[in-house]
Amino acid sequence: MTFSAFWIEKGDDGFTRSIVERSEDDLPDGDVLIDVHFSSLNYKDGLSATGNPGVTRKFPHTPGIDAAGVVVNSNVGEFSEGDEVVAFGFDLGMNTPGGFGQRICVPSGWVAAKPEGLTLRECMLLGTAGITAALCVDKLEAAGMTPDSGPVLVTGATGGVGSVAVALLSKLGYEVAAVTGKAKRHQFLKDLGVHTILSREDARSGSERPLLAETYGGVVDTVGGEILFNAVKSLRYGCSLAACGLVDSPAISATVLPFILRHVNLLGVDSVELPLEQKKAIWYKLGGDWKMDLSKLEEKLALDTLSDAIDRILAGQMVGRGVLDLNA
SS (H, E, C) 34-93: EEEEEEEECHHHHHHHCCCCCCCCCCCECCCCEEEEEEEEECCCCCCCCCEEEEECCCEC
Looking at the predicted structure, is the pLDDT value of residue 183 above 90?
no
My answer on whether 258 and 213 are in the same domain is yes
298-324: average pLDDT: 95
Domain contains 66: yes
Query: For a pLDDT cut of 90, what percent of the chain falls above it?
Result: 93
CA distance 129 to 321: 8
Instruction: Provide mean pLDDT across the span 184-202.
Output: 94
> Is 187 a domain residue?
yes
148 lies in the same domain as 65: no
69 band by pLDDT with thresholds 50, 70 and 90? very high
Looking at residue 246, which CATH number applies to its domain?
3.40.50.720
| Dihedral sign from CA coordinates of 182, 183, 189, 195 | positive
133 occurs within a structural domain: yes
**DSSP character at residue 28:** P
Q: Domain boundary residue among 221, 251, 268?
A: 268
Q: How many CB atoms lie within 10 A of CB 23?
A: 10
**Residue 324: is it exposed, middle or buried by C-beta count within 10 angstroms (0-12/13-18/19+)?**
buried
Q: Which of 111, 26, 23, 100 is CA-nearest to residue 75?
A: 111
Q: Residue 282 domain-assigned?
A: no
Mean pLDDT, range 4-12, rounded to an integer: 95
Q: Would you say residue 208 lies in a domain?
A: yes
Domain contains 280? no
Q: Choose one of 250, 268, 286: the last residue of a domain.
A: 268
pLDDT at position 137 over 90: yes
Q: Looking at residues 27-49, what average pLDDT do you find?
A: 96
The domain containing residue 230 runs over which residues?
126-268
State how far the Cα of 162 lies from the Cα of 154, in Å rounded to an integer.
6
With CA atoms as reference, report the closest residue to 127 among 202, 64, 211. Answer: 64
Residues 99 and 67: beta-carbon distance below 8 Å: yes
Q: What is the pLDDT of residues 85-130, one digit of tens each?
A: 999 999 999 999 999 999 999 999 999 999 999 999 999 999 999 9
275 inside domain: no
Give the integer Cα–Cα distance in Å for 96 and 92. 5
The DSSP call for residue 184 is G
- Any domain includes 81: yes
The answer to whether residues 317 and 204 belong to one domain is no
* 5, β-bridge pairs: 20, 101
Per-residue pLDDT, 247? 84
- Kindly report the backbone phi and psi dihedral angles of residue 30, in degrees, each rounded to the nearest multiple of 5, phi listed first: -165, 175
Assess contact for 266 and 179: CB atoms under 8 A. Answer: no
Q: What is the pLDDT of residue 13?
A: 86
Nearest to 126 by CA among 62, 66, 180: 66
Are residues 181 and 105 both part of a single domain? no
Residues 231 and 162 in one domain: yes
Question: Which alpha helices (DSSP H) does the chain contain, by range?
Answer: 43-49, 120-142, 160-171, 186-192, 200-204, 225-233, 257-262, 276-286, 306-314
In terms of domains, do 97 and 197 share one?
Answer: no
> Average pLDDT over the chain, rounded to whole?
95
Looking at the structure, tell me whether residues 82 and 163 fall in a common domain. Answer: no
**Separation between Cα atoms, residue 23 and residue 169, nearest integer Å:** 43
Q: Are residues 204 and 244 in the same domain?
A: yes
Q: What average pLDDT does the segment 319-326 reach?
A: 96
pLDDT tens, residue by residue, 221-264: 999 999 999 999 999 999 999 999 988 888 888 999 999 999 99
Are 63 and 143 within one domain? no
Mean pLDDT of 168-192: 94
DSSP string, 144-163: T--GGG--EEESSTTSHHHH
- At 50, the pLDDT band (50, 70, 90 cuts) reads very high
- Looking at the fold, whether 159 and 85 belong to one and the same domain comes out as no
CB-based contacts of 72, cutoff 8 Å, min separation 6: 33, 34, 35, 81, 103
Residue 316 has a pLDDT of 86
Give the pTM. Answer: 0.94
Number of separate domains in the chain: 2
Predicted local distance difference test score (pLDDT) of residue 270: 95
pLDDT at 82: 98
Q: How does DSSP classify residue 110?
A: G
Distance (Å, rounded) from C-alpha 258 to C-alpha 222?
20
CATH of the domain at 87: 3.90.180.10
Residue 188 pairs in a beta bridge with: none
Q: In this structure, how many other beta carbons lie within 10 angstroms of the beta carbon of residue 77?
A: 7
Domain finish residue from 220, 248, 268? 268
For residues 241 and 307, membership in a common domain is answered with: no
Q: Are residues 139 and 97 in the same domain?
A: no
Please, what's the largest Cα pairwise distance for the chain?
A: 63
Query: According to the model, what pLDDT value does residue 139 have?
Result: 98
Give dist(CA 43, CA 277) in Å, integer. Answer: 24
